Amino acid sequence: MNARFLRTLLFPAAYLFSLVGLLHAAPPPNTGNIRLMTKETSLGKVPLMADLKKLLVSPDRRHLVYGAKRGSKNLIVVDGKESPEYEGTWPPLVFDGPQRIRFVPARFDESFHRELLRVEIEIVEEQP
């Protein structure tokens, strides 16, 4: 056999076999008999404008709250219902019980002074 054949066929094959051997050399840790039980529950559809870093679930797990951005304004969405729009960056959203959300956003007045607001949103479930 000539050297060119060895170089083009045997060396890549030897490399591949050694790489496969390295990948299978160490077994993954703790591969005993385990089974994963998964339960998925939809919390609702979230639009693209949602900021999922601001996602919050109520303590009783019945309400979904997230921050969203519309243009330069921010708003929060509670179970698909939108709050008024506010300026500035998002403060932390806090559940104060299962039905009340508090946060402190900002807004600008006519002379461009920033005003901080204390906002409380109470979730009132309407009877059908």
pLDDT digits (tens, 9 = 90+) for 46-92: 777 777 777 888 888 888 888 888 888 888 888 888 888 887 666 67
In a domain, 104, yes or no: yes
In a domain, 112, yes or no: yes
Average predicted confidence (pLDDT) for the chain: 75
Kindly report the pTM of this predicted structure: 0.57
In a domain, 58, yes or no: yes
**Quick one: tokens of 103?**
């946060």
Which domain, by its residues, includes 90? Answer: 50-122
Indicate the length of the chain as a whole number: 128
Q: For the chain, what percent of residues have pLDDT higher than 90?
A: 0
Note the pLDDT of residue 73: 82
**Quick one: tokens of 27?**
């077994």
Over residues 92-107, the mean pLDDT reads: 82
CB-based contact 120:102 (threshold 8 Å): yes
In a domain, 68, yes or no: yes
For residue 119, which phi and psi values (nearest 5 degrees)?
Answer: -115, 130
In a domain, 24, yes or no: no
Q: How many domains does the chain have?
A: 1
> ∠47-78-84 over CA atoms, to 5°?
90
Note the pLDDT of residue 11: 59
The enclosing H or E element of 51 equals: strand 50-57
CB-based contact 108:114 (threshold 8 Å): yes
Contacts of 60 (CB under 8 A, 6+ apart): 98
Question: How does DSSP classify residue 34?
Answer: -
Contacts of 111 (CB under 8 A, 6+ apart): none
Q: For the chain, what percent of residues have pLDDT higher than 70?
A: 71
Which of 10-24, 28-42, 94-108 bottoms out in mean pLDDT, i.e. has the lowest?
Answer: 10-24
Note the pLDDT of residue 120: 85
